[in-house]
Every structure is written in C-alpha cells, then in structure tokens.
Chain A
Amino acid sequence: MTPQLIVFLLLAALAIAAAVNVILQRQPIHSAISLIVVMIALAGLFLLLESEFIAAIQIIVYAGAIMVLFVFVIMLLNAGAEEHTNMSRMARYAGLPLAIFFLIELAYQIGAATVSWTPQPAAEGVTRGISMLLFQDFVFPFELTSVLILIAILGALVLAQRDEGVPTKGGQSEIT
C-alpha cells in the first residue's frame, strides 16, 4: 500500500462517485457541478502522473471555461428537473444490468492486464518539453486549432443570434 496507491484510490473513488452522480441527478445544474468535480479529480490524477502542466490546463480551460459555458447555458435556458418517466421494462431489467456488468467486466480485464512497459523519466521539464513538441513537431495542427476556434466562435455567434430582422433607421425592425 504505497502512498501513491492510496492517493490514486481516493481520487479514483471521487471521480467515479462524481461521474455516477452526473448520471443520477435530475437537475442539469447538479450534473454540471458533478462533472466539474470529475474534472478536478482527473486533474489530481494528472498531477499523480507527473503531468503538472496538463493538470493546470485541464482546470483552467476545461473546468474553468468550458463548464462555465455549460453552466451559463443552463442558467439562461432555465433548465429544470428532468421529467420523471419510467424507463421501459426492457431498459430497466435488461439494459441497465447488462450495461453495468459490461462496464465492470471491461474495467476488470483492462485492470488485470500485465503489460511490460519500460518507463523512462522525462528528460527535461514538462512545460519545456511540451512547448518544444508543440511548436516544432506539431506546429501545423497547432495553427489549425486556432483556425478551428475562430470557426467555432463565428458559428456560435451566428447560431445564437436572435432572428429578429434588420433594424431600420427609425428604430423599427422589419422581418426580412
């Protein structure tokens, strides 16, 4: 029972509990909060795997910006509790147990696999190494992602605009 294993088990338990909570909650805002907890637990796991830069990026970008977008949309749309309709009998008695069984089986088989990797410690600092890779080997995908983000911004702006027509000089808007 090394200390590393204890920390891993704690963080993993937190991540799984929060992920189950995402599914079990009826209000979307509670699901969003649970998902944020999952992301923070994963950031802790990244720290355990010595990827401190990605852990910080996960919290700043994923948990701190993308999930804020989710929370904003939930608040703007005033999303309330899900309707409580019972699942079909097939889903309740066959689907859900099969899904959980499949999940446990998958996890067990993957967890019990003994693969022999020979791990090498990182040659240089993590941030420095990532930036070297990002700006030398992966510079083309990096520039492409900036174009992708620009396209996403434009798309989101155009989609979320209200379809009210063009306002004229007199202040009245006409439907085009």
Chain B
Amino acid sequence: MQHDSLTAGGGRNVVSETIGQPSILLVSLVKVVVLLFLVLTAVAYLVWFERKLAAHLQGRWGPYRTGPHGLLQPLADGLKFLLKEDVTPAGADRFLYVAAPFLTMTLAISSIAMIPFGPASIRIFGEITPLVVANSNVGLLIIFAITSIGVYGVALAGWSSNSKYSLLGALRSSAQMISYEISLTLSIVGVLLLAGTFNLSELITRQSGHTWGILPKWNLLNPTFPQILGFFCYFVSAVAETNRAPFDLAEAESELVAGFHTEYSSFKFAMFFLAEYASMITVACLATILFLGGWLSPFPQIPALDWMRYLPSALLGIAGLALIIHGVRYSTILGRIALPLLGVVLCALAFLCSRPNVVFYVQGPFWFLAKVFVVLFVYVWVRWTLPRFRYDQLMRFGWKFLFPLALFNVVLTSFAVVMHK
C-alpha cells in the first residue's frame, strides 16, 4: 500500500537521497578522512603552540631541544603517552572507565564536521561539494547537542575511577559545564535573531558586505545591533565550558590533584587531553563563524583592493623565506636540514596559491584559519594571564552575572531587530 508511505505524494526524504547514491557517500568519506587528519595534526601542534606561547609569556623558551624549536615535541609526547604503563584503579567500573575518554574524544572531534571552511565548492571524484562535511540546516543546534552530551564524559570518568578526588572533581566540573551551557546557548541567540537561520554557511553569508564601505558587517560590528555583549558572553562561557583557565578549578594541579582525570594514565589521559584541545578548536571556529564573519575577508571587495587576493601566498612566501634564512644558521644539524626544507615547502605552497586557478579557492580558508588563530591566541593568552576562579565565585559568576547579561543581550537585540524592520 503506497498510501501510508512517508515518501509518497511528493515528500522529499533527504536521508534516502543521501544514502542511495554511493558517490555522495564516497565524497563524504574523503572529506571526513582529510578533516580528521587535519584536526589531529592541528590539535597536536596547538599543544606545542600553547607551550611556546605560555613560555614566552613567562619569559622563558619553552620546548626547544626536541627537534628544531621544539617542533618534534608533540611526537615525543605522543610516544610517551602510548608507551606508558596503563594502570586501572582497583574497584573501578571497567566499562565506564574505558568508555568515558572514548566518548569525550569522539564528541570533541565530531563537532568539527559541521564547520564550513570556505564558500567555494570543490570537485572530488566528479562531484561538486562544498567545503564542509555536513551542511545541515540545524548545524548550530547539532554542535550544541554534542556539547551537551560531552558532560557525560567528565561525570562518568570521575564516577568510574572509584576515587574521592575524581568524584568531587567530576561533580564540580560537570556542574560547571551545565551551568555555563545555558549562557553559551543564550549568547548566540542574538546572532540567530540577526541572521534567522541555524545553517552555519548561511550565517556567514549574511555577514557579507561592508557598512559605509569600510567596516565589515560581521556580527561583532553589526549595523543593527553590534553583538559585543554576545561575543563577550560567548567567549567567557566557552572558556568555562571547555574547563580552561581561569575556570579550571576542577582539573587544576594545585587543587583536587587532577580532578576527574586523576586516575587515568597513558593513552586514556591522552584522549582527555586531545579532547580538551579539540573542543578548544571547535569553540574558536564557532566564535569566528558566529561573530567574526567566518571566511569573509575584512577588506571590501572593490577592484582597487584586488591585489589582496595574493595576500595568502605573500604571507606564505615570507614565512618560507624567513625559515630558510633562519634555518641555515641553526645550531643543530637536524635543524639545519629540517627548517630550510620546511621553508622550501612553504615557498612552494606560496607559489601554488598564486596560480590563477587556485587563488580563488584559497581566500576563504585563509581568512577563516587566520581568525581562528587569533581566537586561539586570545584563548591561550587568557589562560596564562588570569588567576583562577574559586568554585563558588565561578558558579556565582555563571548564574548571577553571565546568564542575566546574555538575557539582556537577547532583549536588546530583539528590540533593535524589530525597530530596524
């Protein structure tokens, strides 16, 4: 009987359209593999970047000996985590003890699937696909759904470790996460009011254009109502949500030993570690998409500024030349070979990016990555500058200051939107 089928009568069904065609699946698989590789490398070198930046902020060098300028430090850390002894505490709940870090890491990496890296569509295996793994109409809600489930990783890790420090740290940490989740979702309601869609690519295209010809129409500087309050609420909530300083009481070394991951060693601890940095990257990407205009260029698209197209290749070329010049006079032999080689690779990339059929595709991802880098810089900077919140101060700040502030932002933005119409 066709009458009670859900696809008869012209109803379109996206799921069977997607699954029924193997070429779309293959293209998605390629994008997933590439993105996974990029994300894991980015997470590893984000750790390196944080250690170097923290060191320079504190007036010291940071990792310098493992490879030239400490560039092989992530490799050394990875080997250490893999080869360390894996200790399971007595009386631990076996299934949950192993499942919690897997859950946390899976969720942290999978939310990057929704992030659009550029406007253009590229051609893989003959299919034209956009530069995003999953372009969903409720992409933003899915990222928040993934963040909500992430609370369980922390709570279950603490519970299953059968240790009082872990349990207390886990309870505090998960209470903190669910408290700041509210102001996190409220702080972006202003952006949603201005854009009217949950689709991340759409959100970026609504921010295109320049007011008065020079100021970009990013949501931070929106002509209807600049989302400065929203950006502040979002950034603070995101720092609290990812359990980073100054909100890292639950896992700080001087407090509850190490909080919920006290009893974890070797690879399971590495998974928590990676998950924290991966969620940092996700939060930074979301901040650029929602408030800083995603892959849009801050310069107006007028013919006089057409040479801006070559900015990515120019920067890559300068970086490559600097690496070559610095590398040939480096102290170790490995450095004298590896650094100039890296410089040559960067120069080759710069040449590639200036080719006329490539330069268009490079623009979007370049600006996106530049903005994400700035946000991550501020993230690390904040960690190593501000002192830590006490737990009751933290909860009071989240509930009595940030939450009303985010609500206030929603009220003002909706007022401004109605006035504008």
Contact of B16 among A3, A63, A68, A119 (CB under 8 A): A3
Question: Do A75 and B152 touch across chains, with their CB atoms under 8 A apart?
Answer: no
> Helix, strand, loop or mixed for chain A's interface?
helix
7 A-B pairs besides A56-B138, A72-B171, A127-B198 with CB distance below 8 A are A6-B19, A49-B6, A59-B148, A65-B148, A71-B155, A118-B3, A121-B12
Complex formed: what's the CA distance from A60 to B96 in Å?
22
Complex formed: what's the CA distance from A46 to B56 in Å?
50
In the complex, the chain A residue whose C-beta lies closest to that of B6 is A119
In the complex, the chain B residue whose C-beta lies closest to that of A115 is B4
Offer 11 A-B interface pairs, CB within 8 angstroms, sorted by A.
A3-B15, A3-B16, A7-B15, A36-B149, A36-B152, A52-B136, A56-B138, A60-B148, A64-B149, A75-B155, A119-B9
Complex formed: what's the CA distance from A148 to B167 in Å?
32
Q: Does B7 contact A (CB under 8 A)?
A: yes
Q: Does A155 contact B (CB under 8 A)?
A: no
Contact of B96 among A4, A29, A63 (CB under 8 A): A29
| B1-58 interface with A by 8 A CB criterion | 1, 3-16, 19-20
Given contacts A120-B9, A127-B198, contact A33 B138 (CB under 8 A): no
Given contacts A60-B144, A63-B148, contact A121 B167 (CB under 8 A): no
List residues of chain A with CB within 8 A of the CB of B175.
72
Question: Do B19 and A3 touch across chains, with their CB atoms under 8 A apart?
Answer: yes
Question: Do B13 and A50 touch across chains, with their CB atoms under 8 A apart?
Answer: yes
Among B4, B12, B145, B158: residue with most chain A CB under 10 A: B145
Q: Does A114 contact B (CB under 8 A)?
A: yes
Among A27, A60, A117, A118: residue with most chain B CB under 10 A: A60
Complex formed: what's the CA distance from A27 to B152 in Å?
17
Given contacts A50-B14, A68-B152, A119-B8, contact A114 B178 (CB under 8 A): no
List residues of chain A with CB under 8 Å of any chain B CB. 2-4, 6-7, 27, 29-30, 33, 36, 40, 43, 47-50, 52-53, 56-57, 59-60, 63-65, 68, 71-72, 75-76, 114-121, 125, 127
In the complex, the chain B residue whose C-beta lies closest to that of A56 is B141
Q: Does B174 contact A (CB under 8 A)?
A: yes
Q: Does B156 contact A (CB under 8 A)?
A: yes
In the complex, the chain A residue whose C-beta lies closest to that of B146 is A59
Given contacts A3-B15, A64-B148, A68-B178, contact A114 B155 (CB under 8 A): no
Contact of B137 among A52, A76, A114 (CB under 8 A): A52
Question: Do A72 and B138 touch across chains, with their CB atoms under 8 A apart?
Answer: no
List residues of chain A with CB within 8 A of the CB of B167.
75
Complex formed: what's the CA distance from A53 to B11 in Å?
18
In the complex, the chain A residue whose C-beta lies closest to that of B10 is A121
| B contact residues, range | 35 or more
Given contacts A4-B13, A119-B9, A119-B11, contact A64 B145 (CB under 8 A): yes
A48, chain B: closest CB distance, angstroms: 6
Question: Do B15 and A52 touch across chains, with their CB atoms under 8 A apart?
Answer: no
List residues of chain A with CB within 8 A of the CB of B19.
3-4, 6-7
Given contacts A29-B96, A72-B174, contact A56 B151 (CB under 8 A): no
Complex formed: what's the CA distance from A170 to B213 in Å?
67
List residues of chain B with CB within 8 A of the CB of A6.
19
B347, chain A: closest CB distance, angstroms: 45
In the complex, the chain A residue whose C-beta lies closest to that of B141 is A56
Question: Do B15 and A48 touch across chains, with their CB atoms under 8 A apart?
Answer: yes
B35, chain A: closest CB distance, angstroms: 21
List residues of chain A with CB within 8 A of the CB of B185.
60
Question: Do A59 and B152 touch across chains, with their CB atoms under 8 A apart?
Answer: no
Contact of B7 among A4, A7, A36, A114 (CB under 8 A): A4
Question: Do A121 and B11 touch across chains, with their CB atoms under 8 A apart?
Answer: yes
Given contacts A7-B15, A59-B149, A115-B4, contact A65 B141 (CB under 8 A): no
